[in-house]
């Protein structure tokens, strides 16, 4: 076998997300891109472990999309540097309905000047939503940016009761 990455789709009310799993766990989660792929079809010999993770991922994803805190998360295996992992780790500690600025995150990882680097790490985040990068706002409560489009970020925040 070639260390294959398994891609499975998650159908939500907001579109079809694509989850990518490695033998280690969930490695990446993509927003709906509109391109219809063969999807989970052709799943001949997908180990039960993938389906098990997928079930958890699907539940967690839908919970966050509904503005609620997921009960359980699948094993996350993000690909990135130590710095990025630190940033993502801080993000995961942000409670639902609460936002944090890039500067706050920078301080949390002990690099108060690395605000822009934090932004870069957010953009490099392979697992949006489950790693709540959408709860990161600019210092002046501005939206900043978002991988899947600012429309998503705005919508997700609104569902958590965060208003501007």
Partner DNA sequence: TCCGTATTGAACT
Partner DNA sequence: AGTTCAATACGGA
Residues designated as active site: 133
Give the nearer residue to DNA in terms of CB position, either 17 or 102: 102
- Min dist CB 44 to DNA, Å, is 33
What's the rounded Cα separation, in Å, for the pair 96 and 131? 11
Phi and psi, residue 69, nearest 5°? -85, 125
- Figure out which of the listed residues 121, 156, 157, 162 binds DNA, where binding follows CB under 7 A: 121
> In the structure encoding, which two tokens stand for residue 25, read together?
């766990």
Give the nearer residue to DNA in terms of CB position, either 17 or 50: 17
- Figure out which of the listed residues 20, 56, 145, 159 binds DNA, where binding follows CB under 7 A: 145
What's the rounded Cα separation, in Å, for the pair 70 and 57? 9
**Which residue from 77, 65, 79, 88 is spatially nearest to 15, judged by alpha carbons?**
65
Look up tokens 């993509």; give the residue: 30
- Min dist CB 116 to DNA, Å, is 4
Site for DNA in 66-85 (CB under 7 A): 81-84
């Amino acid at each position: 076998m070639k260390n294959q990455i398994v891609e499975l789709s998650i159908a939500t009310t907001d579109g079809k997300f694509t989850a990518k799993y490695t033998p280690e766990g969930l490695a990446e989660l993509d927003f709906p891109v509109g391109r219809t792929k063969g999807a989970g079809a052709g799943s001949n010999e997908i180990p039960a472990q993938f389906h098990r993770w997928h079930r958890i991922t699907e539940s967690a994803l839908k919970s966050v999309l509904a503005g609620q805190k997921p009960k359980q998360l699948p094993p996350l295996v993000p690909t990135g540097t130590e710095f990025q992992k630190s940033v993502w780790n801080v993000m995961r500690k942000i409670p639902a309905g609460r936002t944090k600025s890039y500067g706050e995150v920078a301080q949390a990882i002990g690099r108060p000047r690395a605000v822009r680097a934090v932004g870069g790490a957010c953009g490099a985040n392979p697992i949006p939503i489950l790693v709540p990068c959408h709860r990161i706002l600019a210092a002046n409560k501005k939206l900043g940016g978002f991988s899947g489009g600012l429309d998503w970020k705005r919508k997700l925040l609104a569902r958590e009761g965060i208003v501007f």
